[in-house]
Structure 1
């Protein structure tokens, strides 16, 4: 609870710069919501060609470039301090160039690579994980990266804004530094995805001395100088204008230094203006562009439209606690039969992505391979019958929390109204919105659930083990059988057994309509056509550390 209060406080401070809290109750922004009028089906083959593979070892041409790449961001960052400060994904894309995750892993498969700071991971027992560190890695400060840096990072992480999620499973008091290059991390409870957390954008290696001097979790500085191990280091921040990074010439892997001389980040709030800045040549890359404009930029030979297949699942969370209408399974099932996921995919995502059945993404390695929603036919009469059986023959009124009105919300409202469910949208600024989610003060809301940290997609639905405050929202569903299935999935280390456990969770979710999911999200980056090496890492963050030019 304490960690969630810190996260809420951070959200209040960063409300004007945050675009989305994946898995924590955001409704997205105008930048990512496609207007209904521009919804257009896109050839799936085109998506397959453009989507990111998560490859972080892109082949660069020989030699390095003296060019500085200009990247357009949706807003000026609130901070560039990793691990303990809340950072939106677009800010984490900047931070990734200066800092590196402890573990390198494929975004979609979660497969571990020994090419990063940690070269070996061993499960000692259900609550202890041993890490072997790469020797000779230097921070930009010149100090060697050791196990002491990781220990201090975790000591501060459990005090920072992510204490209630990514750092909640770690038992820092019983974590042991064996020597400079070995550390045994302790867990409070068995947690199957503990290893994966080490590869997320909330678990970046930081120079202990610099971090500690800045106050650790109590840091007030907006950035740390020379505190990372990344390919680029901080150069300059001119408030309201730009942030500039320069290549780390002393990078620990001299054969894989940053290709470009540096990066310059400029701030353009409007998504169309960001994309057009690449078309005009004022910028080289524009992040978080409107997916609704994909076909426009894909047809322009002067730019490339890169689809970021992050796999996050758009979820309609139905609060089933107390005496709310959604406590009755028949009312939740009525919502299921009224929602046209394929239509929502077209309107909100321009037909890109996939239809989803549960909070476990079809892109996730734990997906059971079933997609009933894709072929489901909306049945208004069946929905009305279910509502009548639940005592709502004349219909029912519910409230949906949101921070902005989107085409997706409007369509959901229309689809529910057809069956007798009147969805009233209650708008609020982000601080008020998240306060409501943390206390369960809502009937429903729409949020994107993570693909990479699929454990969180389960936590948000298990109302017996996790409160609204624990997951900052969710559906509060309380059922002992379901909770047992969830806990088995979350704590089973054997991958085959874990996948079987997740299949049971998904089966129950479908049968009892724990909540309703619709489609997977896709992001859009517009860039110069010669730039290659875009990838995703962490929980869906753009990784530009391996970007290079083909020269064409």
Structure 2
């Protein structure tokens, strides 16, 4: 693997945390920024890049970076996921959990939708119920798997009744599952809701303005927004769709585009010294994984999966794929997803995890003992970006090193996306990569997706003890008991490796010289980040 030169980045920020020394002079490889400099005032508009055009901005189908990047500024949820990954009131001023299977939400008064109509409890009921309707086919149905009913129980009160206790349900109310839309708009727009012609009608600091397919999507400031602390400083935000990495970076460097999330990793060094703006890194909950999509072939033996992970040069991937801006992952979740757990228990549970250090020779011996002798495995790949290519090459080399015969199946980006939604698309595919983020500050958001029968359990892995641990964690609201059960599930997953964790990396964002005020964090997928961006003095 040809390694990219590692550039030490010591970024200036209002506050931040340095990450492990990787450069020859011992300087930190990168620094997390909690908040960029405050803006000096409003700005007429700014332009933002998206690496792909959303298929829809219907919240029920917004389970990916492009649509959520837009929608987080337009629509709001009952609760709010903040940049520091805490949760606070949103369209609900508060909630109660009077019984283990009941959540009662008090709806905020004085809130208006972008068409001027007032927010009511009926709007909340209609919005949440869509996720329960099989005719909707919501991508967020998993968050509602234990929901029995959603009912209006007071003038501004909504009660959600569960079939069984689920401690994660309330947390999901700070993400897309908790989104509230006008009931009248949902009924009027029907299947056209969220498309380029109709857009959406929500309550956020920005309102939908226009969408030119293949080119751009424009938001305008909503001057009647209820939360003055997040009143938008820009009158307009224009999202442009730039799928080509080079075009995106060139747009930053020319000043044609003011900023963008998910900066191409191979441009980190270039943009870190740009005269046109600054590159920042923030908190993330994303782990790059190799998904085992077929457990019927040679990868059905956990020893082979363990051997494959030991043979993958994960440090090399971090160095070559993301310029050293990241760390080898010891788990399928990042440490900050445990922020709500008693911190005295977090270190021990992480230290107890099995380790898979890079050791091709030992890995080959383990694979041989499991019966590996030249069987074929198919690795799906797509020309998404440079780090995806590097990951595929590294996994291919590792598979060869342990005695397997890897074949690369290169597919188009849309067919690659289908691997996550269509079981037929995964037929004949043994391995494929994902950059998997959690939408709540809870490891169960990841481990729950590996439960038997879960939609995103792509390899149909099943372990009764794992399922029991996940159920136990979800069924308790006690932080210590929740953490202990989640830790047991994590331990089993890391021993069995239904997915292979590769590395974690920070959120990346580029801000041009005209603008500032952003709080870099993965919460940008659900928090109105664009409202804080204003003029730079």
What TM-score do you get using the length of structure 1 for normalisation?
0.81
2:154 paired residue among 176, 179, 195: 179
Give the aligned partner of residue 401 of structure 1. 380
- Report the CA distance between 1:489 and its aligned residue: 2.5
Aligned partners of 2:59 and 2:114: how far apart in 1? 18
Pairing 1:457–2:446 present: yes
* Structure-2 change in CA distance of 1:167 and 1:285 (3 Å): same
Give the aligned partner of residue 14 of structure 2. none
1:345-379, Cα deviation, whole Å (9 max, x unpaired) = 22222222222122122231169443689985422
Aligned partners of 2:271 and 2:489: how far apart in 1? 40
Give the aligned partner of residue 331 of structure 1. 304
- Report the CA distance between 1:151 and its aligned residue: 0.6
Q: Secondary structure at the match of 1:140?
A: coil
Q: In the alignment, is the contact (CA less than 8 A) between 2:7 and 2:269 conserved in 1? A: no
Give the aligned partner of residue 223 of structure 2. 249
Aligned partners of 2:351 and 2:8: how far apart in 1? 20
Give the aligned partner of residue 72 of structure 1. 49
- Report the CA distance between 1:244 and its aligned residue: 2.2
Aligned partners of 1:70 and 1:39: how far apart in 2? 31
Q: In the alignment, is the contact (CA less than 8 A) between 1:90 and 1:541 conserved in 2? A: no
Give the aligned partner of residue 25 of structure 1. none
Pairing 1:389–2:366 present: no
Aligned partners of 1:68 and 1:218: how far apart in 2? 28
- Report the CA distance between 1:150 and its aligned residue: 0.9
Aligned partners of 1:550 and 1:164: how far apart in 2? 36
Aligned residues: 501
Q: In the alignment, is the contact (CA less than 8 A) between 2:281 and 2:520 conserved in 1? A: no
Q: In the alignment, is the contact (CA less than 8 A) between 2:318 and 2:503 conserved in 1? A: yes
- Report the CA distance between 1:271 and its aligned residue: 2.1
* Structure-2 change in CA distance of 1:47 and 1:373 (3 Å): farther
Give the aligned partner of residue 181 of structure 2. 206
Pairing 1:49–2:27 present: no
Aligned partners of 1:204 and 1:361: how far apart in 2? 25
Query: Which segment is superposed worse, 520-529 or 144-153?
Result: 520-529
- Report the CA distance between 1:305 and its aligned residue: 0.6
Aligned partners of 1:539 and 1:423: how far apart in 2? 37
1:386-428, Cα deviation, whole Å (9 max, x unpaired) = 2222223x34321223334611111121123122222222233
1:466 paired residue among 433, 448, 453: 453
1:198-221, Cα deviation, whole Å (9 max, x unpaired) = 111343221111121111x66474
1:291-440, aligned counterparts within 5 Å?
291-319=265-293, 321-322=295-296, 324-365=297-338, 368-369=346-347, 370=350, 377-392=357-372, 394-404=373-383, 406-429=389-412, 430-431=414-415, 433-434=419-420, 435-436=422-423
2:431 paired residue among 444, 455, 470: 444
Query: Which segment is superposed worse, 160-169 or 200-209?
Result: 160-169
Q: Secondary structure at the match of 1:310?
A: coil
Q: Secondary structure at the match of 2:105?
A: strand
Structure 1 spans left out of the alignment, 5+ residues: 1-34
RMSD after superposition: 3.1
1:272 paired residue among 227, 240, 246: 246
Aligned partners of 1:94 and 1:321: how far apart in 2? 37
1:265-324, Cα deviation, whole Å (9 max, x unpaired) = 2232222322322322222113332022112111124311122442211122235644x2
Aligned partners of 1:284 and 1:191: how far apart in 2? 42
Q: In the alignment, is the contact (CA less than 8 A) between 2:38 and 2:517 conserved in 1? A: no
Structure 2 spans left out of the alignment, 5+ residues: 10-17, 20-27
* Structure-2 change in CA distance of 1:421 and 1:477 (3 Å): same
Give the aligned partner of residue 493 of structure 2. 509
Aligned partners of 1:406 and 1:222: how far apart in 2? 32
2:125 paired residue among 133, 151, 162: 151
Pairing 1:92–2:68 present: yes
Aligned partners of 1:98 and 1:164: how far apart in 2? 18
Q: In the alignment, is the contact (CA less than 8 A) between 1:68 and 1:262 conserved in 2? A: yes
Pairing 1:494–2:478 present: yes
Give the aligned partner of residue 83 of structure 1. 59
2:211 paired residue among 220, 237, 240: 237
Aligned partners of 2:5 and 2:161: how far apart in 1? 49
1:124-163, aligned counterparts within 5 Å?
124-159=98-133, 160-162=136-138
Aligned partners of 1:319 and 1:66: how far apart in 2? 47
Q: In the alignment, is the contact (CA less than 8 A) between 1:485 and 1:501 conserved in 2? A: yes
Aligned partners of 2:142 and 2:49: how far apart in 1? 29
What TM-score do you get using the length of structure 2 for normalisation?
0.83
